[in-house]
Structure 1
Amino acid sequence: MTTRQRAGLRDRPTNGYDTLSDRCRRLITGAVLGTVFLSMLDGTVTGTAMPRIVAQLGGTDAWYVWVVTAYLLASTVTVPLYGRFSDLYGRRRPLLLGLGVFLAGSLACGIAGSIAMLIVSRAVQGIGAGALLTVGMSVVRDLYPPSRMAAMVRMQSVVAGMFIVGMIGGPLLGGVLTDLASWRWAFLLNLPIGLAAAALLVVLLPRSRPEATGTGRIDLPGIALLTAGLSLVLLALSLKGNGSSRSWLDLSVAGPLLAGAVLLAMLIALERRAPVPILPLHLFRHRAYAAIVAAGFFFHAASLPFGIFVTLYLQHVRGYSATASGLLLLPMLVGMVLGNRLTAAAVMRTARPKPALLIGAALLTTGSLPFLTLGAGTPTPLIAACLLLIGLGTGPAMGGASIVAQNSVPRSDIGTATAGSMLTKQLGGAVSLAVSQSLLAHHLAHGGETPLTGGIGTTLASIGAVSGLLALAAVVLMPDLRITGPGGAPSTPVSPGQPAGDDSTEHEAVRRQP
């Protein structure tokens, strides 16, 4: 064998995931899902602890908002960066780096001596958290490719279930720790769990090399434009959607929003010429991926305001306590769990995620429309029934969208595709909250005798139904992918430009149904 041939063999991508024993696969899965769950909890854990935090560290309502916003902004902006880096350089380094930053931020939060230090520490924590969910989800996909379809669908369902539990468990954990010990333990408990997971990942996570890295230097201008543009857009949406009285024309909202849009437009022009783009535009030539990204945006936009504004209605119009209003949201959460589990079962049986997504979008729209008639005397069982429908409609998108996103692109782009799907969901929620706040403010100003009740009902029905219909349209336009394991139909390109056999290393078949 010549020197050149030996060098060529060394340069060929390797996939250490294919040779893992079942025991190692389970240990890595447990470690990854543990870190993913920590990042989910920390997005909501400070909600119930904030009054005690402010009492001890000082600060105003503005500081209160930024303790949460700093984490969400940092974790959202870094999602596409980690996803792309994991495709270019492998999963191991970005995941371990993100976990290290997350744990350092958690320690800093736990020992913070002022509200300003806590906010900065939360931002550091968020920078690390961006890797945990994005790269973690990509590692799970590498561990369970379509050749292990039942396990792949089951893992996506587990992650979606963890997200639901995180929505409930974060505030609950924060409240329990604050009452029984100290709010600082909400952050310090991340350390033993995270260090144990890190030890397992260091020993067991394969050092797999990427299948396709391209040639050329890393796209530093693209990174700068993407980070700055997303930060400005999210900042503007956060300022608009946090319940303040700012209008869309307020300089603090319009300025960052316009500047961010300009930077993102410049990014698209730049990425067309970049040898190794941080935002590979070729992904959107895959019809299934482009459709599911849009659908994910609208699914999240439709459902997110209900968890906020229904609670507002129950407390301020119906006079329920905070605890009772939280319990009355349980039908929506139960619906999410059921919708997610039924979707997993349907995909394992038929290998086709599209029908479940279509039914979900239809249920989401149907459950939203009755809120047009919301009044002070609307029966509570009717509200609960509508929330159950909304939860059932949202459930399919929680795991099903990730399945479609990861299986509609070449294997070498899975990290970037996962990040793009997650990012658009988060943007959908941010846009939805900002628009909902504007609609509610308009109704409060011009709503007649019952502005709050009518405003909440009209806002929820409008956002939910319009976004649900747009999600339905996006799913209708999505090719009907069929995901099969070994022995299934031959793999065919999901869009023009995908090389033949691109995913052959997984022995998978992903095809478009007639």
Structure 2
Amino acid sequence: MAPSAAPTSPDAAPAAFPAFTRAQKVFTMLGALLGLLLAALDQTIVATAGPAIQADLGISPALYPWLTTSYLVASTMMVPVWGKLSDLLGRRAVLAAGIVVFLLGSFLCGVSRSTVSLVLFRAVQGLGSAALFTGALSVVADLFPPRERGKYQGLFGAMFGLSSVVGPLAGGFITDRLGWHWVFFINLPVGTVALALVLLRMPKLRPEGVSRGKLDVTGAVLLALAVVPLLLALSLGRGSDQVAHGGGWAWGSWQVLGMFALAAVGTALFIREERRAREPLLDLKLFRQRTFGLGNAAVFIIGAVFLSGVVFLPLFMVNVVGLSATHSGLTLTPLTLGVVAGNVLSGQLVSRLGRYKGLMLGSLVLLMVGFTVMGFTLTPDSTQAEVTVKMVLVGVGLGPSIPLYTLAIQNSVSPQQIGVATSAATFFRQLGMTLGVALMGAVFATTLSHELGTRVASATEGLPPKLRAELVSEVPGAGGEGGAARTAFHAEEVKQRVRAELEAERQRVKASDSAVAGVDVQEKRALEAVDRTDRALKESFTRAVKAVYRCAILVALLAFLVTLRLPEQPLQRGRVRTPAK
């Protein structure tokens, strides 16, 4: 088959498509959506409960990131494995297994009493979540012909967006009222309902024509050797200043370089194994198809800016706009609604039009415009309302990226390879997200460190050394914390402490008018320095956040150029064949 050609039979002609009853479709979609909701909500709920977990278990700052890292690494590593298993065993078996593993991990996390056990059981959750992500998106391709998939895949994309709104609110409520253990226990009743729907009302959804081959265990082990060190290096790599304050290893350290080298060796061995395997975990021949290859490349690139456009905004809202951490998170709600709207609307349009490339390119143009607005118009005086309106455009641009590219990739392969194709898209999206956050984090931290180093030094120049040191210590990131800083600089509180300290000095020297006058001058200079430092801080964070969005413009442009070369294959409506089991 030529690289740009449409798939051969059974996809070249209007595909025969299995008939499902309305009840089968409804209950299957409900089970898949609930399963996906479990995995999507868990990430945001646990992130909100993180500080309470850290305080209760006494988790050190160096180990704290592992609560997320272990989950992410395990999930990304298992995505291709679950995808292949879903083609061999059917979606029902994989979804059920994924829910069971996820619920087991949730229960064990809830009863954990130590940092090590919690980190390990978070990895168990990640193993199960990979099946939920892959199986849920594959189910749509089994239930509906290509022309109708877009509007239903948009629902799954919208679920991701809604979870980012509901998750932090639910996480805060559950942690405050019931304790952090219940952010894991709450998964059990929801997961039980999802498991019942999957086991009792969902057909097997096993593609016809797929032999009951064996899983490529060697390929799975080598994939882990390639992916785990890579994700650990990207997640734990730090700038030299950040290492001293937030743990991790410097990018040039032997630990990080060794993990990158191990990942390179693992990747080479995995490719060699997949070329020789009779039943490969990921059929590398699929990348010869331009739609599959370029589609996954675009998914990887867009993944690099998917989280980057969101992760650093709360830092701006806390340190520049002056919001609390809770209210800064709520600022993202309109952006999330934009993502949901983009998901649903693009899915409906592609089902009506039967074409997806124009919608992809249009969404990327909107995304670049949104990043441009953020990268060039943010100022230290920006308000919450202003930033919120601007971020809606970014959300609408990001929204179509999940359903449309998944649809294009699924449409480029035969029904027997839907699971592998879906898992490939999920795998490359998650890799892109991890790489993007690491790279953009380096841009943010480097810019912030440089700006603070010059601006704060200038703002506090001329103050007594002790007062200057105290003032600098109050500035988030000035001591090398970079992007990890979340506590705002409260100028009025600092001024009150300055006044109190100098009032004590004034009382000590009150017998001397000249000495009191000197303290008055010192107080005036100190209060002016606080104002200058506050302004310097806001300007530094503004420049650092703008640098992230300006880099994101270039990444989105690269995704646009790759998508421009993406062949568009017709979306068939499908013909009904024998009822499915």
TM-score relative to the length of structure 1: 0.86
Residue 471 of structure 1, aligned match among 536, 559, 566: 559
Aligned ranges 1:92-171 → 2 under 5 Å: 92-146=92-146, 149-150=147-148, 152-171=149-168
**Residues 299, 429 of structure 2: 8 Å contact kept:** yes
The corresponding residue for 2:329 is 326
Moved more, 91-100 or 403-412: 91-100
The corresponding residue for 1:418 is 422
Cα 1:476–1:506 shift into 2, 3 Å: farther
CA separation in 2, counterparts of 1:95 and 1:316? Answer: 43
The corresponding residue for 1:452 is 541
**Residues 89, 209 of structure 1: 8 Å contact kept:** yes
CA separation in 2, counterparts of 1:32 and 1:297? Answer: 24
Provide the aligned length of Structure 1 versus Structure 2: 473
The corresponding residue for 1:290 is 293
* Higher normalized contact order (CA 8 Å, seq sep 6+, divided by chain length): 2
Q: What secondary structure is seen at the aligned counterpart in 2 of 1:48?
A: helix
Compute the displacement of 1:382 (Å): 4.7
**Residues 165, 333 of structure 2: 8 Å contact kept:** no
Moved more, 293-302 or 469-478: 293-302
Q: C-alpha offsets along residues 417-474 of structure 1, whole Å, 9 cap, x if unaligned? A: 1111011111111111111121123223433434432122112211x10111011011
The corresponding residue for 1:234 is 231
Compute the displacement of 1:236 (Å): 0.7
**Residues 440, 456 of structure 1: 8 Å contact kept:** yes
Q: What secondary structure is seen at the aligned counterpart in 2 of 1:18?
A: strand
The corresponding residue for 2:571 is 483
Aligned ranges 1:388-403 → 2 under 5 Å: 388-403=392-407
CA separation in 2, counterparts of 1:208 and 1:393? Answer: 33
Runs of 4 or more consecutive aligned structure 1 residues displaced over 6 Å after TM superposition: 504-507
The corresponding residue for 1:431 is 435
Task: Work out whether 1:197 is the aligned partner of 2:194.
Answer: yes
CA separation in 2, counterparts of 1:279 and 1:486? Answer: 26
CA separation in 2, counterparts of 1:287 and 1:397? Answer: 18
Cα 1:461–1:303 shift into 2, 3 Å: farther
CA separation in 2, counterparts of 1:361 and 1:284? Answer: 23
The corresponding residue for 2:35 is 35
The corresponding residue for 1:497 is none
**Code of the aligned partner of 2:29:** T
Residue 409 of structure 1, aligned match among 386, 409, 413: 413
TM-score relative to the length of structure 2: 0.77
Q: Aligned Cα RMSD in Å? A: 2.5
Q: What secondary structure is seen at the aligned counterpart in 1 of 2:321?
A: coil
Q: C-alpha offsets along residues 150-169 of structure 1, whole Å, 9 cap, x if unaligned? A: 4x222201100100011222
**Code of the aligned partner of 1:317:** V
**Residues 357, 396 of structure 1: 8 Å contact kept:** yes
Aligned ranges 1:225-304 → 2 under 5 Å: 225-240=222-237, 244-245=242-243, 246-304=249-307
**Residues 161, 337 of structure 2: 8 Å contact kept:** no
CA separation in 2, counterparts of 1:133 and 1:75? Answer: 9
CA separation in 2, counterparts of 1:361 and 1:144? Answer: 27
Contiguous gaps of at least 5 residues in structure 1: 1-16, 488-503, 508-514
Q: What secondary structure is seen at the aligned counterpart in 1 of 2:570?
A: strand
**Residues 240, 437 of structure 1: 8 Å contact kept:** no
CA separation in 1, counterparts of 2:193 and 2:327? Answer: 37
**Residues 70, 126 of structure 2: 8 Å contact kept:** yes
Could you say which structure has the larger radius of gyration?
Answer: 2
**Residues 440, 455 of structure 1: 8 Å contact kept:** yes
Q: What secondary structure is seen at the aligned counterpart in 2 of 1:178?
A: helix
CA separation in 2, counterparts of 1:56 and 1:296? Answer: 39
